[in-house]
Amino acid sequence: MDGILVLVRHGESEWNKLNLFTGWRDVDLSEKGVEEARRAGTLLKRDGLRFDLGFTSALKRAQRTLDLILEETGQADLSIVRDQALNERDYGDLVGLNKDDARQRWGEEQVHIWRRSYDVPPPGGESLKDTAARVIPYYEAKILPEVKAGKSVIVAAHGNSLRALVMVLDKLSQEEVLQLNLATGVPLIYRVDSDGVTIGKRELTV
């Protein structure tokens, strides 16, 4: 029996709305983010999906997104594992800065390299490669075995931690993953066989 893995990037946060680098700073969802999370739950319920287990990060914007989704699907009592291995990429010295201000301070090209290169971290922070180095082993040790066993698992996390997972699931190269942008609150549904191989993928939109 194939397993189901659903990935959802948290709804818009208060700092997303203000165009700030967030990283590990623990900010909450904006009003729009709450709506996005609830809509994701409504779509998943309409799709008939029921979950056996949930995973999320140690940050409340992802945790609250998962809580709101499960509320909408009628599974508020689902067992949830929270772990900082699924946290957003740490933006180091950029955290709390407006992205436009950062460009003025360090230059457009340098900020673009920090945001969009695979292995160049911002000062004091993590590159996407660093993020993948903690996310992927956690996925392989904790999440994948549940999916390979035929369970339905939902993961609510962050743009960069989920990019690392999609890189594995879709077999993307380091160059290809840099072009990947995940929308907030839009569920990605993977069908995975007992060997852990992706055999189907779809995006759940209105």
Catalytic center residues: 10, 88
Tokens of 152: 């339905």
One-letter amino acid of 171: K
3-class state of residue 6 by DSSP: strand
What 24-28 contacts at long range (C-beta under 8 Å, 24+ apart), as own/partner pairs, is 24/59, 24/87, 24/88, 24/90, 24/95, 25/95, 25/96, 26/59, 26/60, 26/61, 27/60, 27/61, 28/60, 28/61, 28/64
Q: What angle do CA 62, 67, 73 make, to 5 degrees?
A: 125
Cβ contacts of residue 168 below 8 Å, gap of 6+? 136, 139
Q: Are the CB atoms for 201 and 191 separated by under 8 Å? A: yes
Give the chain's radius of gyration (CA, Å). 16
